[in-house]
Amino acid sequence: MSNIRIVTHSASGASCKIHDFGACLISYQTGAGRECLFVSRDAKMDGSKAIRGGVPLVFPQFGQPDKSMPQHGFLRTNYWTVDESSAFDTKESAGITYTLQLKDAKAARGGIWDEQTMFDCTCLYHVMIDGTKLTTTLEIQNTSTKRFSFKHCCIPTILWMGNKLWMDQNATSKVWKGETDRVYNPPVGKDMVEVTIGVGKGKELKLTAVGTVDGKKKPVSCVVWNPYIEKARGLSDFGDDQYQEMIVLSLVYWEKRNLKGEAFPS
C-alpha cells in the first residue's frame, strides 16, 4: 500500500500529495498545472530520515537547542494517520486531515519529551487546496497536566527560479546570491508574516503565516535558507546543483507557554 495520499480538487484540477511519514506535503500543483513545492531528487521516501523538501513540520524545537532531543523534534520523523472521514472535495476546495498522538511517536523523542515523561499532546494537520491556494493548519492540543514551552515551524521548500523575494508589501525586492540563513521578523505591531516570491517568467507566489495560542494571535517570523554550492555538496539527500532550484522559508513560532487543555493552531 502506498504511503502517499493524493488529494484532488475536481472543480479546478488542482492537486497535492502528502506522505504519511511526517505528514509531509511533497507536491502542490495549481489548477493551471504549476508545481509549487521542491523535493530533492535524492530525498529518502522510505522513512529512514526526514524528507528533504516539501513542507516538513517542526515541533517542539526548531534546530537543536536541546541536545537531548533530535533536531526539529518528532513530527517530521514519525508516521501519521489519515482521518478518512475528514476527506472532502467540494466546488470551493478539497482537503484532508492527518493525526499524530504523542504516544504513537516512537522516533525522534528525547529529554523532557521522551517516553514515560510528563508531557502529552495530540496533533492535527489540516490540508486544504483550491485552484490557486494551498492552506495548512497544524493544531497541537496539550493533553497533559503540565504546561510546556515549545517552538513550532513549518518549512515550505519552494521551487524558486526568479531569485527575488519580498518580505512585506512595502519592501523592495531582495536578490540572494550565495549561502543564505537569515531571520526576518514582521514589522512592529504586525503579527502576520507575508512573503512574495518571484518564481520566474513574471510569476509570483505569496505566502502568509499566522500563529495563535488559545485563540490569541502571536508573532511569527520567517527564516530564509539556501545551502548554495558548498553546503549542498555536503548533504547526502540533496543534489549538488539543486540549490539553484529552491528556497526554504521556515515560518517559525518562537517559544511560548501552552497550558493544560489549550490548543495551538497555526
* 263 inside domain: no
Element (DSSP H or E) covering residue 246: strand 246-258
Residue 35 has pLDDT above 60, yes or no: yes
Cell numbers given for 24: 509531509
> Which residues touch 183 (CB under 8 Å, ≥6 apart)?
221, 222, 223, 252
pLDDT value at position 172?
Answer: 53
Alpha-carbon span 197 to 174, nearest angstrom: 10
Contact (CB, 8 A) for 197 and 167:
no
Alpha-carbon span 70 to 239, nearest angstrom: 24
118-144 pLDDT, tens digit each: 788 899 999 999 999 999 999 998 888
> Which among 215, 190, 209, 214 is positioned nearest to 253, based on CA atoms?
209
pLDDT value at position 87?
Answer: 98
**What CATH number is given to the structural domain containing 91?**
2.70.98.10
* 264 inside domain: no
pLDDT value at position 159?
Answer: 82
What whole-number percentage of the chain has pLDDT above 70? 88
Q: How confident is the model at residue 251 (pLDDT cuts 50, 70, 90)?
A: confident
Residue 258 has pLDDT above 60, yes or no: no
pLDDT value at position 189?
Answer: 78
* 266 inside domain: no
pLDDT value at position 177?
Answer: 65
* 178 inside domain: yes
Q: How confident is the model at residue 20 (pLDDT cuts 50, 70, 90)?
A: very high
DSSP annotation of 238 reads S
> Which residues touch 254 (CB under 8 Å, ≥6 apart)?
151, 219, 221
Q: What does 43-71 look like in DSSP terms, one character per residue?
A: ---SSSS--SBSB-EEBS-SSSSSTTS-T
78-115 pLDDT, tens digit each: 999 999 999 999 999 999 999 999 888 887 788 788 87
* 221 inside domain: yes
pLDDT value at position 29?
Answer: 96
> Average pLDDT, stretch 245-253?
86
Enclosing domain of residue 239: 4-258
* 93 inside domain: yes
Q: What does 174-207 look like in DSSP terms, one character per residue?
A: EE--S-EEEEE-PPTT---EEEEEEEETTEEEEE
Alpha-carbon span 71 to 172, nearest angstrom: 34
190-246 pLDDT, tens digit each: 778 888 887 777 778 888 888 887 777 878 888 888 898 999 999 999 999 998 888
41-88 pLDDT, tens digit each: 999 999 999 999 999 999 888 888 888 888 888 999 999 999 999 999
Instruction: Tell me the three state secondary structure of residue 163.
Output: coil
Alpha-carbon span 256 to 244, nearest angstrom: 35
Q: Please say whether the dihedral angle defined by the alpha carbons of residues 59, 62, 65 and 70, taken in this order, is positive or negative.
A: positive
Tally of domains within the chain: 1
* 203 inside domain: yes
| Average predicted confidence (pLDDT) for the chain | 85
Judged on CB neighbours under 10 Å (0-12, 13-18, 19+), 265 is middle
* 92 inside domain: yes
The pTM assigned to this predicted structure is: 0.88
